């Protein structure tokens, strides 16, 4: 079976790499995360002009019509330089919730703004005690006139500068029931929403939001009443594959940067890369990175083939990326010595980003348990 990239994907990957090489030196990234939005609006506009925002969306919606392999090609390059623009949260995750919704009028009205980069989205799902349970939603949606009143709180909503939130709320069922869930899109500037910005470990901004009797019109609901869970599960699964591609890109950078450093840093008159014990550790870094890359390809194939075991493959991928991403990053820090954790060196920033990726939508232990539950049920 041929797992190599197509000619178009190679061209896409090369164009992304070239843009990032010109615009994403480590010191440039540090300046970006200190901006109010936490990223560069100029870069975001460039992403739009280069057509990257259109990649995961169908041609019917005005997109490029790309597949998961196209998306991961971009995300892997993003991971190599720690891109801070909200491509994953706005386009891959939340944008796909909107693009795959059953509300055609809503898509026609909002998708052009998303694809052009004029409007950014964020998925407000996580609540206290949720873990990875996508169905754990205590936020309520109560029928009111021609719409619903939403009451609840969401934690760590990515991209605090988003223009619109897609909020998961419950119209019926208990707190963990898969039935009774709805998705509503709301303006982030709605006065009924209280927003508390928080800075994450990797320097990016998220926010905690609370709202009481937040009115949302019926036409701003993404699916039919109570039927949102299958959409959420499908989109989150595929978004996790894209997120893991970013992690593989970061791991690739760490391995290459560490071997380069070890071959130039001298101790006792020789390069430390000549020490057999350190060579073994760098080989372990390489093997961990390539194992995650293989699992990434397997998950991509499962999605493209419509495999019944795709969720299992994605759970394994997320579990292993969480485990080995940390391992590779921690080894890189150790082999760089004390300066590996300084702000002046990029290595520590990659460790922080990989730790955040591990925690998104459940850590490695949760996904290992998730795989076992699906495999041996």
Condensed to tens digits (0 to 9), the pLDDT of residues 171-199 reads 999 999 999 999 999 999 999 999 999 99
Return the pLDDT at 103: 96
Higher-pLDDT residue of 342 and 291 is 291
**pLDDT band of 1, cuts 50, 70, 90:** low
Residues 85 and 129 in one domain: no
Closest by alpha carbon to 312, among 266, 273, 262, 370?
Answer: 370
Residue 89: which CATH number?
A: 1.10.540.10
Return the pLDDT at 140: 97
Residues 215 and 271 in one domain: no
Residues 139 and 274 in one domain: no
Residues 77 and 125 in one domain: no
Q: Measure CA of the first residue to CA of the last residue in the chain; give whole Å.
A: 30
Q: Which of 55, 88, 116 is the last residue of a domain?
A: 116
**pLDDT band of 343, cuts 50, 70, 90:** confident
Condensed to tens digits (0 to 9), the pLDDT of residues 10-42 reads 999 999 999 999 988 877 888 888 888 889 999
Name the residue range of residue 352's domain.
230-375
Return the pLDDT at 265: 82
CA distance 312 to 343: 38
CA distance 369 to 346: 33
pLDDT at 2 exceeding the cut of 70: no
In a domain, 1, yes or no: no
Q: Which of 90, 116, 142 is the last residue of a domain?
A: 116
CB 377 within 8 A of CB 369: no
Residues 208 and 99 in one domain: no
Q: Quick one: tokens of 195?
A: 């927003």
Q: What percent of the chain has pLDDT over 90?
A: 82
Residues 101 and 214 in one domain: no
Residues 37 and 109 in one domain: yes
pLDDT at 62 exceeding the cut of 80: yes
pLDDT at 98 exceeding the cut of 80: yes
In a domain, 66, yes or no: yes
- The string of DSSP letters for 50-100 reads TTGGGTTS-GGGTS----HHHHHHHHHHHHHHT--SSIIIIIIIIHHHHHT
Q: Quick one: tokens of 20?
A: 């990032």
Residues 91 and 134 in one domain: no
In a domain, 264, yes or no: yes
**pLDDT band of 130, cuts 50, 70, 90:** confident
Residues 322 and 336 in one domain: yes
Condensed to tens digits (0 to 9), the pLDDT of residues 231-281 reads 999 999 999 999 999 999 999 999 999 999 888 887 777 877 677 888 999
Residue 272: which CATH number?
A: 1.20.140.10
Most confident option among 132-136, 164-168, 337-341 = 164-168
Q: What percent of the chain has pLDDT over 70?
A: 99
Residues 95 and 147 in one domain: no
In a domain, 21, yes or no: yes
Return the pLDDT at 69: 95
Q: Which of 50, 83, 116 is the last residue of a domain?
A: 116
Greatest CA separation for the chain: 79
Q: How many residues does the chain have?
A: 377
Residue 155: which CATH number?
A: 2.40.110.10
User: Residue 250: beta bridge partners?
Assistant: none
> CA triplet 367, 258, 288: central angle to 5 degrees?
30
CA distance 307 to 294: 17
CB 258 within 8 A of CB 137: no
**pLDDT band of 167, cuts 50, 70, 90:** very high
Residues 335 and 234 in one domain: yes
Q: Specify the number of domains making up the chain.
A: 3
CB 214 within 8 A of CB 186: yes
In a domain, 102, yes or no: yes
pLDDT at 107 exceeding the cut of 80: yes
In a domain, 2, yes or no: no
In a domain, 338, yes or no: yes
Q: What is the mean pLDDT of the chain?
A: 93
Residues 33 and 140 in one domain: no
In a domain, 210, yes or no: yes
Which of 110-124, 205-219, 335-349 has the lowest average pLDDT? 335-349
User: Residue 50: beta bridge partners?
Assistant: none
CA distance 287 to 265: 23
């Amino acid at each position: 079976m041929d797992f190599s990239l197509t000619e178009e994907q190679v061209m896409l990957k090369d164009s992304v790499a070239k843009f990032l090489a010109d615009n994403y030196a480590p010191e440039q990234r540090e300046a970006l995360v200190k901006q109010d939005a936490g990223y560069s609006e100029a870069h975001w506009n460039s992403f739009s002009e280069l057509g990257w925002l259109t990649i995961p969306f169908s041609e019917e919606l005005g997109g490029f019509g790309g597949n998961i392999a196209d998306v991961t090609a971009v995300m892997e390059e993003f991971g190599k330089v720690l891109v801070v623009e909200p491509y994953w949260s706005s386009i891959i995750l939340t944008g796909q919730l909107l693009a795959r919704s059953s509300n055609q009028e809503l898509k026609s009205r909002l998708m052009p703004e998303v694809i052009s980069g004029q409007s950014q989205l964020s998925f407000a799902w996580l609540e206290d005690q949720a873990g990875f349970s996508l169905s754990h939603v205590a936020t309520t949606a109560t029928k009111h006139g021609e719409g619903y009143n939403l009451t609840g709180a969401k934690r760590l909503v990515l991209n605090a500068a988003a223009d619109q939130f897609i909020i998961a709320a419950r119209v019926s069922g208990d707190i963990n029931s898969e039935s009774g869930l709805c998705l509503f899109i709301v303006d982030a500037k709605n006065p009924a929403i209280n927003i508390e910005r928080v800075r994450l470990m990797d320097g990016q901004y998220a926010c905690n939001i609370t709202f009481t009797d937040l009115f949302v019109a019926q036409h701003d609901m993404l699916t039919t009443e109570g039927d949102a869970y299958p959409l959420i599960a499908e989109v989150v699964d595929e978004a996790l594959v894209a997120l893991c591609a970013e992690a593989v890109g970061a791991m690739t950078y760490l391995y290459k940067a560490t071997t380069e450093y070890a071959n130039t840093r001298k101790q006792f008159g020789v390069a430390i890369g000549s020490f057999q014990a350190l060579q073994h550790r760098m080989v372990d870094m390489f093997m961990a990175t390539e194992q995650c890359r293989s699992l990434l390809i397997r998950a991509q194939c499962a999605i493209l083939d419509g495999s019944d075991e795709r969720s299992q493959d994605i759970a394994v991928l997320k579990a292993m990326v969480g485990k080995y991403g940390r391992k590779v990053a921690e080894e890189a820090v150790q082999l760089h010595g004390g300066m590996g954790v300084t702000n002046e060196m990029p290595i520590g920033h990659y460790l922080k980003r990989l730790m955040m990726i591990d925690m998104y939508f459940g850590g490695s232990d949760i996904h290992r348990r998730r795989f076992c539950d699906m495999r041996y049920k």
